[in-house]
Structure 1
Amino acid sequence: MELPILLSGPIIRKVDPTQVYIWIATSKDFHIKAELYQVGTNQDSKDDKQLQVRTILKSIRLGKQLFIHLVHITPLEENLPVDQLLGYNLFFTKGSNKYDLSSLGLLSPNNPNSIVYGDFLYPTFYINSKPESAILYGSCRKLHGKGQDALARADEMIAKKPLDKEVRPSSLYMLGDQIYADDVADPIFPIIQEMSRQLTGHEQEDLSKVEPSLKRNNFKQRLTKIQGRQFIIEQFCKFTSSNAYNHLITFGEYATMYLLSWSPVLWQMAKEEHVMYTFEEAYQHNLIHFNSPKKAASLKEHHDEYLQHKDRYHEQSLDIEQFQQSVAKVRRLLANIPTYMIFDDHDITDDWNISLEWKKQVHEAPLGRHTIANGLAAYWAFQGWGNDPSRFDQSFISAMNQYFNGFHAEAPAYKNWLQTLEEFQSWHFTAPTTPLTLFLDTRTLREYDSTPKQVKWTNLIEETTKTPKLIGKKGWELVNQTLQDSDWNKGEPLIIASPAPLYGVGVIESFLKNNIYPFRVLGVPVHYKLDFEAWKYNVEGFSSFLHYLKEWMPSECIILSGDVHYASTVKADVEINNEQLSIYQLTSSPMKNMSFEGLFGSLLKLIVWITTLRQKEKTVNRYYDDKNPILKESDLTHQSANMVWKEKISYQSLEHGTIIETANNLGLLTRTNKTIQNVLLQDFNEQRGYGKFEPFPLK
């Protein structure tokens, strides 16, 4: 079956007064031109003004029916207007076939998949130049995650007042786990299988050329069956995800997951082609893997497993149905706001580079290396390329082109493709926002210390591997150079996007570190189960972060983060080498994946609540010297002469008193010349509205 022309997008990517990038995925290789308009003050767009621009198209073919395009728009004369709404249209040409966004139905207010707001003629955005900022940010969006999609809440917020730039956000930051490659719902696994074949071609990417064991018939069957991949992922990839039953492996699977996450197009196709199976249909078509064969000797075991599969499938089907209902809103949002994206682990696989041992084991597993490379290549094509296209030179693009031209794992192009992705060290970038934003890569620039450290648990002392520095020495040098090469100057305001917060909620981090992490000495892999990857878990890495902040000395430092599946707002007043620095840490997560449920989640929330009551109107004071761990000042009789830094930490509360929010949320940084505030767009009942943390007054 022939795929629709537009598979996903358009998505507004990097923008500044000199250029605009628009990302789009199509099923055919089109020539694409753009028109840009300065939108009038009325929503009926009668006084729109067309701007004189040129279009440069960058395209790459990723499969038989999959093309990714970056439409680069630049003004012919003066810079583009700032602080004013800009509209755009795209024109597609292939031979005698011509289309635009209107003829494709995306600009019609009567189309439920329309990408315009109100009575506008086009999708719109604006380039903010004012010190005041309204920036959306968040992470952790799983298709079958619990609750409503917080990105859809952002769309609804803009739809209410699309003309009001005082409240309309100027940018969206997606801070990791945009997809869950390792945790794929049972009902969408057949969809991914079918659509990836149509996108890339039936003959592409023979995994048995990468891992010969997959030639065996039982493994070949497992690869294509629901819940069939856990053993393959553990044994042949050496991954550690406990939810890898349907883990993505091929490039086509990763690509399909992105298309399902951002667009309603493939969902509609899946319905038309009848690949959205009920559990009973999937069972009848023999699409589900069972550990217990359907034989007389194991009939009870098979029946029990059948019931487990059925319950899981039905629950996930309800969550997926809820996701589908809002994905068109998400597509509209992405078409109307400049968006910047950085990865975290689930974009590739759970626990990605969590330890040196993990990294070595996966590197020695051909299928593990292959899967990570596919995940990174898909991240580049769907996310990374649009952040700052100049970071990917011609040799990088050529390596991608040559491999995707054939997907041959035994060809020289394959080795070059693998090496290019594994050695690439420029995933971090700056976004030309106001203030400028520095996006950190906390996954591929890590540094590991193999020297064991002592961990005490009750009366037991054992040695265990240290948690990694999320950015090592070489990584910080690269990040520092990237900032120096930007238009930012020392002493100016700076926003830093870090997937993991520099300042989480200390009571949660301490509880995990002191009461859960020590179980590792007993052989319990808690570092894989609970992701001990906060900056504070490696004090040397944390200190390196503070060191560079001291060197940069931004007049105002705001850190935006996600990852931890709760929202919080923290201020840290830091003294380092006799320099004073205030850091505002705003965290928002998850967009769609509520995780603080059950007994463990309830226990953590109870601990936070009790601690909040005990510490009301108080702050936490700590300092660090190079011979001692972080300590509270109240625990010390005198201040160390070897002090490296000290800090005073204060937490802001929501209206209902708690210092965290675990329901699905998307953060909205609202920055004025007087305050900084973290506002949450949430999966709340109507009467609760938005969640607002107390604002921080600026000096």
Structure 2
Amino acid sequence: MELPILLSGPIIRKVDPTQVYIWITTSKDFHIEADLYQIGNQTNKGDKQLQVRTKLKSVRLGKQLFVHLVHITPSQENLPVDQLLGYNLFFTRGSNRYDLNSLGLLSPDNPNSIIYGDFSYPTFYINSKAESTILYGSCRKLHGKGQDALAKADEMIAQKPLDKEARPSSLYMLGDQIYADDVADPIFPIIQEMSHQLIGDEQEDLSIVEPSLKRSSLKQRITKIQGRQFIVEQLCKFTSSNAYNHLMTFGEYATMYLLSWSPVLWQAAKEENVLYTFEEAYQNNLVHFTFPKKATSLKEHHDEYLQRKDRYHEQLLDINQFQQSVAKVRRLLANIPTYMIFDDHDITDDWNISLEWKKQVHTAPLGRHTIANGLAAYWAFQGWGNDPSRFDQTFITAMKQYFKGFHVGTPAYKYWLQTLEEFQSWHFTAPTTPLTLFLDTRTLREYDSTSKHVKWMNLIKETAKTPKLIGEKGWELVDQTLQDSGWNKGEPLIIASPAPLYGIGLIESFFKNNIYPFRALGVPVHYKLDFEAWKYNIEGFSSFLHHLKEWKPSECIILSGDVHYASNVKADVEINKEHLTIYQLTSSPMKNMSFEGLFGSLLKLIVWITTLRQKGKTVNKYYDDQNHILKESDLSHQSGNVVWKEKISYQSLEHGTIIETANNLGLLTRTNKAIQNMLLLDSNEQYGRFESLPLKKKEDC
């Protein structure tokens, strides 16, 4: 099958007055050049072509898969700021030449068009003003419930594409851009087929990585729907409970990204007739059953058949809904500078959640291989465009050499694996106004091997501590990155942390005090519920505050996702006689509502109690040098000296609650006086608005 020329993109990545990066994937190797225009108005009057130079970096990922970074720089002066810029791309291969227009993407009549209104080109702008508007969020699962919040953002821009006062200048994707460990049944055959088309026969042989896969029983089930849970648990040593269709090969990870960001492979799948009904998948023997269809297990097989069928049909409805809006998401990404950082699901659920997990997976060749594939795909589809300078030629050469043939066990393979495992520069700064520091809270962790006592009823057991999300060595790397960015102490700073520094205290305390102790009895709740908030390791939380104290930002905004609800928290912190005001804004999920069933009802009850207790109030807490968090009533008999104290207040939405659990995307509007956080919602309301947060003046800090 010959795939379409453009597979995904274009996506606007890093931009500043000196350069623009555009990311794109194609099915053939092209030389790509770009034109850049200063946009006059929406009626195409006054568009001015700018004098620019184009450099291209390309990597062959597979037989029909090439990833490109188009680097555009001005020939003389800097690029215009605070003005709409448009672009076109030109693809040359031999005597064949195409551009975005000839490929149909600049036609307003094409449902897959990437332009807004009557513009001739996709557009964006480089913001230089203190006032800024930023979209941010996380957690986008293809078969997640509800509408895609990214599509809501596209619809918002489409209403007033000329209005730069309201139009966001950047989009921050804060983790779980894909769910590698939770793949819907109906798209598993699509991933299998399209992965082979993209990569070709060169796709890696997993049985060389893990010889057990040569056994006929495992060899059959690894390619079948719902066939991978046992393999992932036993051979990868992963702990995801939804790993029935877990991505494993590089081609599978790559295909998932293409399905997430573009309608192209969806159309190809329909043309190849690989978007099956359950009955078709069953007839083609594509579904794994614990109880095969034999005379001795007809009853068990029938019951399992009905369970598989119900799950498949439900997910197919959600997938069909996703397809209807993916073209809007592609248009959004083509018209806004976008920065991305991973969380666990981009690789696998529970990634590096504990030292025990890390050691077990590292000793499992198939586990190491799968994580490396996930990281390589993250680099190619997300990380490379954040700040290309962080990936030197040595890194890119390691990727290229392995992608040439995916030969497992060769020196190129071992070097590729080592390069990914030892790389420590996934964190980065984005040249936004203010500057944004993106934190890597997955590979820079620090683990404490000493045990702590956990009390449950009248029992006291020992269990491993939760990790510091960034360890001492990690903070040194982050400090150096911030220093190298040109940011100066005392300037405003935005920090993108996948996990919130400040969540909703009552929810975190409920889990820590009432759920986490079950781990002492051998229940793996830390894997089931992801105990990874900053405050679950108070030393790690405290180190974050100490770094903020050293940086002394005149204004500190932390943007986060992960927790599947949206909230606004303001924290006034006093640490070593220094005062900090922290604004924690959280938006999640984009498309993966989780407050369902019994567990969801429990969380909603906690939310209701939290709202009643905390609305309009502040919470005062203290931390001493004995690693204790204290309430005000505890101060009279404290055993140590107070290291820092905090006053926390929760902002309410217009309808009264302090959190939003529907699919949402945060829309931060920052002026020199206040922060306004609005949510683009998956509901008829369209928007949710938090109370405005007034900013302190620099002299007040």
Alignment TM-score > 0.5, same fold: yes
Match of 1:165 in 2: 164
Deviation of the 1:638 alpha carbon = 6.1
Aligned with 1:560: secondary structure?
strand
Match of 1:213 in 2: 212
Aligned with 1:591: secondary structure?
coil
Structure 2 distance, partners of 1:246, 1:624, is 44
Match of 1:500 in 2: 499
Structure 1 distance, partners of 2:356, 2:101, is 53
Cα displacement string for residues 529-570 of structure 1 (whole angstroms, at most 9, x for unaligned residues):
000000000000001100100000000000000000000000
Alignment pair present for 1:27 and 2:27: yes
Match of 2:18 in 1: 18
Structure 2 distance, partners of 1:476, 1:118, is 45
Match of 1:434 in 2: 433
Unaligned runs of 5+ in 2: 697-701
1:441 aligned partner, one-letter code: D
Structure 2 distance, partners of 1:535, 1:335, is 34
Residues 11 and 22, structure 2, Cα contact 8 Å, conserved in 1: yes
Match of 2:118 in 1: 119
Find 1:697's aligned residue among 677, 694, 698. Answer: 694
Matched length: 696
Match of 1:131 in 2: 130
Structure 2 distance, partners of 1:92, 1:278, is 37
Deviation of the 1:608 alpha carbon = 2.1
Deviation of the 1:641 alpha carbon = 5.8
Structure 2 distance, partners of 1:522, 1:614, is 32
Structure 1 distance, partners of 2:610, 2:91, is 58
1:535 aligned partner, one-letter code: W
- Regions of 4+ moved over 2 Å: 614-617, 634-641
Alignment pair present for 1:587 and 2:586: yes
Residues 202 and 406, structure 2, Cα contact 8 Å, conserved in 1: no
Match of 2:139 in 1: 140
Residues 626 and 640, structure 2, Cα contact 8 Å, conserved in 1: no
Aligned with 1:636: secondary structure?
helix
Deviation of the 1:510 alpha carbon = 0.4
Aligned with 1:454: secondary structure?
strand
Following superposition of structure 1 onto structure 2, how do residues 511-660 of structure 1 map, counting pairs within 5 Å? 511-637=510-636, 642-660=641-659
Cα displacement string for residues 591-619 of structure 1 (whole angstroms, at most 9, x for unaligned residues):
00000111221222222212322333210
Structure 1 distance, partners of 2:525, 2:610, is 24
2:424 aligned partner, one-letter code: Q
Structure 2 distance, partners of 1:669, 1:634, is 36
Following superposition of structure 1 onto structure 2, how do residues 176-575 of structure 1 map, counting pairs within 5 Å? 176-575=175-574
Deviation of the 1:640 alpha carbon = 6.6
Deviation of the 1:461 alpha carbon = 1.3
Structure 1 distance, partners of 2:352, 2:627, is 27
Structure 1 distance, partners of 2:295, 2:211, is 33
Residues 11 and 338, structure 2, Cα contact 8 Å, conserved in 1: yes
Residues 615 and 651, structure 2, Cα contact 8 Å, conserved in 1: no
Structure 2 distance, partners of 1:638, 1:208, is 62
Unaligned runs of 5+ in 1: none
Cα displacement string for residues 362-382 of structure 1 (whole angstroms, at most 9, x for unaligned residues):
000000000000000000000
TM norm structure 1: 0.99
Structure 1 distance, partners of 2:210, 2:12, is 39
Structure 2 distance, partners of 1:80, 1:584, is 32
Structure 1 distance, partners of 2:669, 2:467, is 33
Structure 2 distance, partners of 1:305, 1:613, is 44
Deviation of the 1:698 alpha carbon = 1.5
Structure 2 distance, partners of 1:615, 1:378, is 42
Cα displacement string for residues 653-697 of structure 1 (whole angstroms, at most 9, x for unaligned residues):
001111110100000111111111211001011xx2310010111
Identity of aligned residues (%): 87
Deviation of the 1:224 alpha carbon = 0.7
Match of 2:670 in 1: 671
Structure 2 distance, partners of 1:564, 1:210, is 35
Structure 1 distance, partners of 2:226, 2:102, is 41
Following superposition of structure 1 onto structure 2, how do residues 148-163 of structure 1 map, counting pairs within 5 Å? 148-163=147-162
Match of 2:699 in 1: none
Structure 1 distance, partners of 2:202, 2:555, is 54
Aligned with 1:345: secondary structure?
coil
Deviation of the 1:286 alpha carbon = 0.3
Cα displacement string for residues 228-261 of structure 1 (whole angstroms, at most 9, x for unaligned residues):
0011101110000000000000000000000000
Cα displacement string for residues 125-175 of structure 1 (whole angstroms, at most 9, x for unaligned residues):
000000011000000000000000000000000000000000000000000
Structure 2 distance, partners of 1:634, 1:588, is 33
Following superposition of structure 1 onto structure 2, how do residues 47-66 of structure 1 map, counting pairs within 5 Å? 47-66=46-65
Aligned with 2:544: secondary structure?
helix
Structure 2 distance, partners of 1:152, 1:169, is 14
Alignment pair present for 1:39 and 2:39: yes
Deviates more, 1:341-350 or 1:213-222: 213-222
